[in-house]
Structure 1
Amino acid sequence: IAVDVTGSTAVQGPGGVEIDLAPPWPRLDLRDELIERCGIDFLSLRDVDSLSRAMRDRGIHVEPNASWGRLLDKVISSAIQPNMIQPTFLVDYPVEMSPLAKRKPGAEGVVERFEAFVAGSELANAFTELNDPVDQRERFEEQERLRRELGEDEVDRLDEDFLVAVEHGMPPTGGLGMGVDRLVMLLAGESSIREVILFPQLRTL
């Protein structure tokens, strides 16, 4: 797409930084990257209290009444995402952040999921779909617990129709969601997404 639009795989990112979109993009293990960037190991800090303490020790804001997954997402957006200027895949996310993704065989507590980052922004999110109805029900029930206890409105709700469908048989499948507006913003050399979306609510005229 970059070649068709701009004639090159190299585009200008924020601050005039040249970003090369040519493959292959590096693949970084999320756990290893967190340990290297800020010394936080999500397989060791398995509860809200210990993760919150580690975040405060590093000057990362701790949102009140946030779930473990939401807190770790804050760590990622604070310690890793701003440094992902060149195209990069982060792989192997924790189960708690990915309730619809399939567990990675032979890997403790992580799922088959990746996110693509370019210019400090998430460009895509993808994972292998969970097709184990027992595991899926357990995760939905945990999400419901978080919703009741912490007021997590963004968690996936327990969907009985979906669970019944999975019980009848769901073939191996996966999916990818891409931020098309962010891609257009990058290729157009715009610094604000308001300049590329069709109907912006706020835009400088």
Structure 2
Amino acid sequence: KINNEEYQGLRVTTKSVLGVVKRILSHDLNKLISDEIKKNGGKTKRLNGVSTKVLKAKIAMNGNIGFVGEPRGIDKNIIMKALKINHIPIIAPLGVDANNNTLNVNADTAAAYIAESLKAERLLLLTDVAGVLDNNKKLITELDRKKAFQYIKKGTIKSGMIPKIKACFNTLKNGAKGVALIDGRKQNAVAMELLTTEGAGTLIKK
């Protein structure tokens, strides 16, 4: 059992927690995602953030929440090499700092940073809920920056949803044309978001 303490939606990561996180993210979960894509006919390239150093990071919050990192760079060449041969990069959100220390990076923050760095047109963050919910647990289908931060202040948006929302707005600010939080439990959620007018979650707007 590992410590499940969070601060502003980020997992406090002690040295012992980091060891577990590294194994789960870089091996177990990375392999699981890759295998599922392959079952459906896709080709993948598993990128371990530690061994490939695809994600550069620096310690977050002066180390007050342990080995938690903020993205500070990516190795575009590794990612583009996979994309050019039609392989889907499966990137474990583990960063490496200037001293070669491994840092636990929030997965949504990492995804958004990679999308920004590659100048991606769309960012879809899959969640285990319908999208952003209001106080009555009803889906908010569209959300702009002003309304989002009002919800954060009121506590409507909280915990792990906070870094998701912040990541979305950072990506929009840096040029993405579309960002959405969608229900990853829903069958064909990605296709629904891309190909239908109703989408599959919450559309994030500037």
TM-score, with structure 1 as normaliser: 0.28
Q: RCO (CA 8 Å, sep 6+): is it higher in 1 or 2?
A: 2
Q: Which has the higher strand share?
A: 2
TM-score, with structure 2 as normaliser: 0.28
